[in-house]
Amino acid sequence: MAFTLPPLPYAPNALEPTIDAKTMEIHHGKHHKAYVDNANKALEGTPWADKDPIEVIKSLKDLPDDKRGPVRNNAGGHVNHSLFWSILTAPGKGGSPTGPLADAINASFGSLDAMKEKFSAAAMGRFGSGWAWVCVTNGKLEICSTPNQDNPLMGEAIAGCGGTPILGLDVWEHAYYLNYQNRRADYAAAFWTVVNWSAVAENYAKAKG
Ligand code: MN
């Protein structure tokens, strides 16, 4: 079965004022949809068309040369945005890290504030378009960033860092320009008000295995 655009798990205006409804509508309905459509076009008629998108981006090296670029960008975009929507919730509703996730944050970074600081630095340090991530890597939490629609699951050789992402921030201008214009730092700081920590904790539990 071809990839499908997952519905947003909340209304487009649910994240206001942190992320405005218009941005969400365009970001999900146009940008994410285009990644899905273009990934399907690239994979049509190949053995990868019926695979889980996560399995596809983990096996880019096995793809034919003429498919690898479009699939890296578009299946990558599909996986990245699917994770992004799932770890967001209305401002003030996301709680805070608890249990094993809180323990892992403290063990890996010292504190939640220290993790946020390092994450913001990764988001700000990404020149042009890309993502900042918190990943589970060898049982520990690590922060990294990737260019374009690369995902750490593609492996370090391709994406520049590895691990299993449990939280990600889209730092493409299309994610914030209407509301924040060039102020990526403000967007990255406001992001924490809409993080759904129980969703991140679930991702952590799955990634930890
Ligand atoms: Mn995006």
* Confidence (pLDDT) at 1: 73
Domain identity same for 35 and 129: no
* Confidence (pLDDT) at 209: 83
User: DSSP of 66-81, one letter per residue?
Assistant: HHHHHHHHHHHHHHHH
For ligand 1, the distance from its centroid to the CA atom of residue 76, given in whole angstroms, is 11
pTM across the whole model: 0.97
For ligand 1, the distance from its centroid to the CA atom of residue 206, given in whole angstroms, is 24
For ligand 1, the distance from its centroid to the CA atom of residue 174, given in whole angstroms, is 6
Domain identity same for 105 and 194: yes
The tens digit of pLDDT for each residue in 37-92 reads 999 999 999 999 999 999 999 999 999 999 999 999 999 999 999 999 999 999 99
For ligand 1, the distance from its centroid to the CA atom of residue 29, given in whole angstroms, is 11
Distance CA 184, CA 207 (A): 29
Tally the domains of the chain: 2
Domain assignment present for residue 91? The answer is: no
For ligand 1, the distance from its centroid to the CA atom of residue 177, given in whole angstroms, is 11
Of 32, 37, 120, 39, which Cα lies nearest the Cα of 73? 39
Domain identity same for 109 and 193: yes
Domain identity same for 75 and 105: no
User: Within the chain, which residues score under 70 in pLDDT?
Assistant: none
Domain residue limits at 106: 99-208
The answer, yes or no, to whether the previous bond of 17 is cis (omega within 30 of 0) is: yes
* Confidence (pLDDT) at 101: 98
For ligand 1, the distance from its centroid to the CA atom of residue 103, given in whole angstroms, is 30
